[in-house]
Structure 1
Amino acid sequence: MRVSIADELARMGIQLGVASAMELNNKASVDLRLEWEQAAAEINGSTKDLLADPVIRSYRDFYWRVLKIDPTKQRPAQEALIRRILNNGKIPTINPAVDIGNIISIKHKVPIGLYDMDKIKADKLTLRYAAEGEVFIPIGSPRRTLTSNQIVLAASDGTILHVYPYRDSELTMVEASTRNILIISAGVPGISGDLLIKAAAEVGLLYEKYLGGRLVKVELASGEREVSV
């Protein structure tokens, strides 16, 4: 499977950390308390301090300037998770693979997208602007009709996996039965490729540790580089 970024988005400086993890046992009973505690320990200060964090700031600026979304009303996914921690809220557990993605998202402050590779029926994914009227089926919500100012991760057969960088599709969601996962850390201008690679790799390494999977490959997709997983 190939992953690429459309030219107009690559010129903005958008990059993706891309990894694949295979042969997971996502039905395993695992104790992730230590990982949650270590991720929470990376967060300092209060919710007000988030506004000064350079990583969080980059995503908020992207929401305002590119997506035309008010990030105080539709928060970046990782910021919403961090705010729950800072407000002593409990992060809901979904299944081990998804929980691990959330842990790394909190730790590194970048969004992590997870996709069941066996549900993807095309050989190429592209991060691009949506076509007016394309349909997206978000996890836990009714289907939505997209507009041309939205950014999507789309398969070559037209399936929309993700509205960038905050909402995944029900069509490729990771469930207890999922064994093979595509991991994508979603970058915006100002976020280094090294951070994206590190975040994607750490998800895969925790899969190996807790779910018996194999981290197969970790690469950076950019304007100059289409990657295969």
Structure 2
Amino acid sequence: MEITVDPKIKEIVPEFKIGIIHYNNITVSDSPQMLKGRLQLFQEQLFFDLEDKDLFDFPGLLEWKLVWKALGADSNRYRPAAEALYRRIKKQNYLTPVHSGVDMNNFLSLQYEIPLGLYDADLIEGEVEITVGTDSDQYEGINNRINTLSNILITKDRQGAFGSPYVDSNRTAVTEQTKNALHVFYLRPSMDRDTALEMLTAASNMFTGINGGHAELRIL
């Protein structure tokens, strides 16, 4: 699958980088108790941390808020997904298990303090571009609303936008029928490539440890 990043993004955020993992022959199912327990425990620990810390004491959340604003998104109305997860946990509104794909994606996003997107690769049509959305970029999101993605980063294929670090679309959502997936990591710009590769390797090992299959990774 060909994936490109709009050069205009790097004109605004010179160190911008994206991590990509392709998974093949995975099996998505009800999460094992180990993953459910780990996700719950991590959220409980974060809740206690957030009693003493501001959200933006977490470097990943702060860095993505700055990227968000640099690209022109309204950071008060629309928030990067990782920040939104942390805000939920601060209210003790913990995430409940969905399935082994979504639960692992949420765990990794919380752990690394960055937005992630997980998509069914067989539902993506043609080449993929990561760019900044306009008023014409819309989709029905997994939040069950029609989302307009003006000035928000998007991933788009031949049909149009299908993902973003704000909210993903229903069209390419991973389900228990998914066999091949695309995992997009909206990396912290300050992270060097070697560290990013180590992180992607660790994340892919965790993901395939739960969901099987094999992974190929790269940084754009």
- TM-score bracket, normalised by the shorter chain, equals 0.7 to 0.9
Q: Secondary structure at the match of 1:171?
A: coil
Report the AA paired with residue 219 of structure 1.
R
- Aligned equivalents of 1:127 and 1:202: distance in 2? 24
| CA apart distance, 1:91 | 0.8
CA pair 56-29 structure 1, distance change in 2 beyond 3 A: closer
The answer to whether 1:70 aligns with 2:75 is yes
**How much does 1:42 deviate?**
7.4
Distance 1:175 1:8, change over 3 A: same
Q: Give the counterpart letter for 2:156 in structure 1.
A: A
Q: Displacement of 1:190 after TM fit?
A: 3.4
Distance (Å, rounded) in 2 between the aligned partners of 1:36 and 1:174: 19
Deviates more, 1:51-60 or 1:75-84: 75-84
1:204 aligns to what?
Answer: 204
Using the size of structure 1 for normalisation, the TM-score is: 0.81
The residue aligned with 2:57 is 52
Deviations 1:22-45 (A, max 9, x none): 111112551213532674487473
CA distance in 2, matches of 1:179, 1:134: 27
TM-score, reference length from structure 2: 0.84
Residue 217 (structure 2) aligns with: 218
RMSD across aligned C-alpha pairs, in angstroms?
A: 2.6
Q: Distance in 1 between matches of 2:192 and 2:207?
A: 24
CA contact (8 A) 2:114 2:188 kept: no
Q: Provide the residue aligned with 2:25 in structure 1.
A: 23
User: Which shifted more, 112-121 or 62-71?
Assistant: 62-71
The 1-side partners of 2:137 and 2:31 are apart by 39
Q: Distance in 2 between matches of 1:15 and 1:94?
A: 29
Match of 1:143 among 139, 146, 154: 146
In 2: Cα distance, 1:41 partner to 1:140 partner: 24
SS at match of 2:71: helix
Query: Which amino acid in the other structure matches residue 166 of structure 1?
Result: Y
2:106 maps to 1:105: no
Q: Which of 119, 122, 141 pairs up with 2:123?
A: 119
How many aligned residue pairs are there?
Answer: 215
Residues 164-183 of structure 1: per-residue CA shift (max 9 Å, x gap): x2111111110111111111
Instruction: Say if 2:132 is the partner of 1:129.
Output: yes
- SS at 1:127 equivalent: strand
Task: List alignment gaps of at least 5 residues for structure 1.
Answer: 222-229
More deviation, 53-62/32-41: 32-41
> 1:162 matched to which residue of 2?
163
Q: Which AA in structure 2 matches 1:115?
A: Y
Instruction: Confirm or deny: 8 A CA contact 2:102 2:174 kept in the other structure.
Output: yes
